[in-house]
Amino acid sequence: MSDNKVATIHLGDVIYADIDSNEYLREIHDNLLYNYAAKMLNIFDQTSRPVDKIDALRFADLLSKSTHSTNSDQHKMWAQEIITLLCSIYPDDPAVSYYAGSVLTSTGNYQGRNLVAKDYQSGAVLDRMYSEYSKELLTIPAMPEFQFLRAQKQVYDHLTDQYFSYSGPTSMGKSFIMRMFLKSQVESGVEKNFALIVPTKALINEVTSKIINDLKENLKKYNYRLVTSAGALVLKEQHNFIFVLTPERLLYLLISNPDLELHYLFVDEAHKLSEVDSRGPFYYKVIDKLVERKNKPHVIFASPNIPNPEIYLRSIPDIETPEKWKLASSFSPVTQFKFLISFRQRSISMFNDYSRMLTKIAQFTGEISLDTILPLVSRDSDGRIKQNIVYCSSIAQAVNLARSYANKIPTVTANQDIWTLSKEIKQEVHGDYFLAELITKGVAYHIGYLPSTIRMRIEELFRSGAITTIFCTSTLVEGVNMPADNLFITSYKKGYAYMDAVDFRNLIGRVGRIEYNLYGNVFLVSMNDKVKEEKFEELLKEKIPEQKLSIESGLTNAQKKSVVKALVNGEIEFDKHPHNQPEESYTLMRKFALILLRDITKGRDSLVHREFAPFLTEHDEEKIKANFTQKSATPDDDINVSVDQTENLTSAIARGMSYPTLDINGNVDYNELMNFLERMCRVFKWEKYERQTLGRVSKKTGKHGMLRWYAVILIQWIQGMGLSNIMNKAIEYKRNDSEATVRIDGKPVKYDDSREHRNVVIADTLDVIENVILFSISNYFLRFSNEYKRFHKVESFKNDWYEYVEYGTTNPLTILLQRSGFSRETSTYIRQHRREYVVMAEDGGVKLRRTLLQSRNLGAARESADIQYNMPEIFVD
């Protein structure tokens, strides 16, 4: 009897084996792409290519039913692309509409079907029966009127696993799956605590608002509250919690609340664990702190486009077979059509994802600029205004391109919401701020720090179509989901660094969102010789490689050895390795070193510890323990601060160091503050660890010139001064300094008080508030406050400057309102109108009148709409 095994042959593999290489199908698809491009670009003088519409429909229908064992997702997406092209070219054809319903039903894209063929019903009884069965199977438990995509359903069914990691295209709706799981859990009555890690503060606001609106009254019914900061008032009460935090904020929450139990940890945008930047180690630290607990939480990773999502499960030490707990889907419910525009060649080409070829579509004859190209694609064939996002590599480029484009728009909008926002920007930021003028033309830029009330209103007005074009840097594209029809990419850089394949795919995936449409257009724009067409083509053709964790790829063996050598010698003030090591790389190395030190002294078997293990002997570890457990300050879990800094801080506080005092009016003496900051500089060694900002030494004077500037802004910030006043003071200072300069294109230019230079000052000041005051100084003040409380054995103390910085005020009412969930701007507005909105309860507590929900201040009304559900007890009739 033969021992030969018969290979299993899938029928789908036989039927669909050669369809990818079918020349007729490829010709139809290529011709459809060409005809779509010609129609979209209004190229009427070119003859359309021949397409047999019936054959195209049949191919789409056949591909949509693919059961091929490995290429099924690709076939279904090809089917969707063909039917999307046909719907665009023949929008009124009933046959196309009918086939669209069939194709999107077969691919399980019911949300897409509702957009283009809502009334579709198959003529075949068996098809109808299968469709109903499939629809029921994909029904979202928490929203029975809607259906998951098949890939979403597969993920959803795994969210009760102890550990799970999944990836998919940007448009897959990965965060939506998490939200639907949360909604189902809450409404089923479970009593658990959930945490979502998001990469940016902007996403905290967006995700929190969506979860609140998913649950509304059920938050109160099932005793749940959302928490976005460690200072939230609801943490002092007995509730179940949903935390939406950045990794840094979650780490500090866990450090200050060691007994807080978390049942689920969702890590959104998990590919950040692969990025070589200074924030990555916080993800590792949070995961380490949670999985070392006796009651371990479920840990779920979600990442975009990653072919090997199981890599992130390696951050959990006790998983032996991570392949069991992963799902990688390539299915996207929307299509991105990709174009390359070359100013140098005066041409536009279209990229075919299936042939991997660029085909020239047209040659430009007249003037060519972004200002002339944007109007070409800003309306569809029915006259509907399309919405555009323009990605720029720098803030200066975004502002300049936005201004140039707006100047070409002859008319201003009649939309009153736009004019109201324009007025508020002038009042709250500055009267000369370009943004206030641009939005009256339906144009905006989205960069850096803005009051959350203004930033979120810009996003809402874009979603509603009142703002049609946004120029942005990576802050918007990475942080907020926007319904764009067209995405223009003017650079393949993020700041000074080149995009990799993950960055690029994540970026182009931001156009075409299934909530709004079936497709989007991506225009790669080579505007000058510095932006090479070949690099764009390379990114289009490059497949995303398997990812590594940053602890593996971010440090060289030599750097790991240098860390071990320093620790063995009892040194914690690491030197750069090599001497020209970039700041970001040095910070990454230092933070991983601090995690390693803590793991060794605590005997933890973390991933970081394992990665350094080849360079550590048992004797080394014993020596490191001896070196650092005998010190007056021992390693702890705060990876922003090392033992040498902690020793200095403890000693300084023991010798009486405290925050500067405020007078009866809440003012502080500038010299006293500078003395305090200079002492902080020595304590925390800012000249070594913050050499670009807080510890920067002027070559001219040898003093901390930047620190003096930060001190001025810090005083204004904690006094509750509005942004417009802070901007006026900054501009006035430049105006009165005969040697003042601003940086234009990276070079210092003498300040001339022109509107352009005033806007540079405004942008620089906003950047300092976001990245220095609210991040760097806030973190150091948090450490100071915690050490001060520990030394003096108190739970809180008056004159806590960490609170003043965090909330941008010393006013108790404004602080309380922010701890209730309001922004600094809205809290200030409520305080200024306290007679209208604030009620003092008999127990001395603060209540708010529900009339705030109809406030003439749109930002206050908007925030109140969410807070009424998350903190209902604060409102009274």
In tens, the pLDDT along 526-564 reads 999 999 999 999 999 999 999 999 999 999 999 999 999
Packing angle, helices 53-64 and 72-89, rounded to 10 = 150
Asked if residue 261 lies in contact with residue 193, where contact means CB atoms within 8 angstroms, the answer is: yes
Asked if residue 443 lies in contact with residue 406, where contact means CB atoms within 8 angstroms, the answer is: yes
Instruction: Convert 74-120 into a string of H (helix), E (strand) and C (coil).
Output: HHHHHHHHHHHHHHHHCCCCHHHHHHHHHHHHHCCCHHHHHHHCCCC
Half-sphere exposure of 719 (CA within 13 A, CB side): 21
d(CA 444, CA 428): 17
The letter for the amino acid at 652 is A
Instruction: Convert 286-326 into a string of H (helix), E (strand) and C (coil).
Output: HHHHHHCCCCCCEEEEEEECCCCHHHHHHHCCCCCCHHHHE
Long-range CB contacts (within 8 A, 24+) of 778-783: 778/802, 778/805, 778/806, 779/248, 779/640, 780/640, 780/680, 780/684, 780/694, 781/805, 782/252, 783/638, 783/640, 783/641, 783/649
d(CA 402, CA 439): 10
Asked if residue 341 lies in contact with residue 523, where contact means CB atoms within 8 angstroms, the answer is: yes
Give, as one character, the DSSP assignment of residue 490: -
d(CA 436, CA 443): 10
pLDDT confidence of residue 2? 44
d(CA 829, CA 135): 48
**Is the full-model pTM beyond 0.85?**
yes
Tell me the sheet residues that pair with 267: 197, 301
Q: Closest by alpha carbon to 80, among 10, 32, 17?
A: 32
d(CA 667, CA 663): 5
Please give the distance of CA 440 from its chain centroid, rounded to a whole number: 27
pLDDT confidence of residue 322? 80
pLDDT confidence of residue 200? 85
Asked if residue 200 lies in contact with residue 478, where contact means CB atoms within 8 angstroms, the answer is: yes
H or E, element range at 459: helix 452-464
Ranges of each domain in the chain: 11-137, 150-328, 555-639, 670-802, 812-876
The domain made up of 150-328 is a member of CATH 3.40.50.300: yes
Q: What count of other Cβ atoms lies within 10 Å of the Cβ of residue 128?
A: 13
The list of the chain residues with pLDDT below 50 reads 1-6
Tell me the sheet residues that pair with 445: 471
Half-sphere exposure of 416 (CA within 13 A, CB side): 1
Asked if residue 825 lies in contact with residue 205, where contact means CB atoms within 8 angstroms, the answer is: no
pLDDT tens digits, one per residue of 842-856? 888 899 999 999 999
Instruction: Convert 408-454 into a string of H (helix), E (strand) and C (coil).
Output: CCCCCCCCHHHHHHHHHHHHHCCCCCHHHHHHHHCEEEECCCCCHHH
